[in-house]
């Protein structure tokens, strides 16, 4: 565990979502390339939202490059802007930290290179490694750690974490679980098999993200018996994702999304179970993170 990340603290607060929070600020966010669109059309709002999370109590903010991958960029003919947009996402995060005059850390995101949630859409190693290395290089040395986000299968998690580990920076691995209480990856693979398969990789913290709170609660109970590393959690505000759903088709409703008070209840439960890194994923905004940061 890298002591420079923790700075003597026993708990860290992550930020929340970008996509839905950008919409709340009036930014027109297409579902497929929302990251790239916001970076190109509303960079000041991206920076402002980073600042909102810092003010809400986030110890760590994440670069806004989740949907800046060839998978999404090619649909709009933007493949050649991957490095430019990824580097911009880092610069905006760093500017937000500097303007807030805090010691907030920056996590550089390594997202899925295929469709989110789809273990059948994971690229092979020969294809994924060069892309992930390109993303890592574009994130620049201005990040403090790398977070491999929304990993839906053992294969995807291992390939992504291997490239992240090459940087020498702390590596956080965020797994996305089936939206039930099984505690399995979306691929159906168990956490025990996942930990075994990734043995030998230097993973500083293990997290769960982009699934319902119930799934994360089940996952923490299992994972804490398998590892001796910090455990983290950042859930979605909306209900279970329908089978076969893809990010580009959109259609997820936030009408019955968890409000800040409801999310606080889940966050407290995770903390009581031993999670020491807590934030929010899709639909979780600064108000939610403020409640998380105020947990005793």
> How many domains does the structure of the chain reveal?
1
Q: Is 103 exposed, middle or buried (0-12, 13-18, 19+ CB in 10 A)?
A: exposed
**Phi, psi dihedrals of residue 269, rounded to the nearest 5°:** -65, -40
Asked whether the beta carbons of 157 and 208 are under 8 A apart, the reply is no
CA 27 distance to own-chain centroid: 21
Is the predicted pLDDT of residue 60 greater than 60, yes or no? yes
Range of the domain at 197: 3-293
> How much is the pLDDT for 122?
94
CATH number at residue 273: 3.20.20.330
Euclidean distance between CA atoms 66 and 292, whole angstroms: 23
Going by C-alpha positions, the residue among 129, 160, 135 that lies closest to residue 81 is 135
> How much is the pLDDT for 272?
98
Euclidean distance between CA atoms 227 and 3, whole angstroms: 18
CA atoms within 13 A on the CB side of 279: 27
Q: 6-52, pLDDT tens digit by residue?
A: 988 999 999 999 999 999 999 988 888 999 999 999 999 999 999 99
Q: 170-216, pLDDT tens digit by residue?
A: 999 999 999 999 999 999 999 999 999 999 999 999 999 999 999 99
Q: 95-146, pLDDT tens digit by residue?
A: 999 999 999 999 999 999 998 989 999 999 999 999 999 999 999 889 999 9
């Amino acid at each position: 565990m890298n002591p420079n990340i923790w700075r003597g603290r026993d708990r860290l607060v992550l930020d929340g979502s970008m996509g839905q929070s950008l919409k709340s600020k009036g930014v027109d966010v297409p579902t497929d390339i929302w990251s790239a669109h916001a970076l190109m059309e509303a960079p000041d709002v991206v920076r402002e939202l980073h600042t909102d999370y810092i003010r809400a109590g986030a110890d760590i903010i994440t670069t806004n490059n989740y949907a800046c991958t060839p998978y999404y960029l090619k649909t709009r003919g933007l493949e050649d802007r991957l490095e430019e947009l990824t580097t911009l996402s880092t610069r905006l995060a760093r500017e937000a930290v500097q303007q807030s005059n805090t010691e907030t850390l920056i996590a550089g995101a390594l997202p899925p290179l295929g469709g989110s949630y789809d273990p059948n859409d994971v690229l092979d190693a020969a294809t994924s490694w060069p892309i992930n290395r390109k993303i890592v290089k574009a994130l620049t040395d201005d990040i403090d750690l790398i977070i491999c986000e929304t990993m839906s299968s053992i294969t995807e998690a291992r390939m992504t974490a291997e490239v992240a580990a090459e940087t020498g920076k702390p590596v956080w691995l965020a797994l996305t679980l089936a939206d039930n209480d099984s505690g399995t990856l979306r691929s159906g693979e168990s956490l025990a098999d996942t930990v075994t398969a990734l043995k030998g990789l230097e993973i500083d913290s293990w997290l769960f993200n982009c699934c319902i709170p119930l799934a994360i609660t089940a996952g923490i109970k299992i994972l804490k018996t398998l590892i001796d590393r910090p455990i983290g959690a950042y859930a979605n505000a909306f209900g279970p994702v329908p089978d076969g759903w893809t990010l580009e088709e959109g259609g997820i409703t936030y009408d019955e999304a968890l409000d800040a008070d409801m999310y606080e209840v889940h966050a407290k439960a995770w903390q009581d179970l031993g999670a020491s890194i807590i934030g929010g994923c899709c639909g979780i905004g600064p108000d939610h993170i403020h409640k998380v940061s105020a947990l005793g």
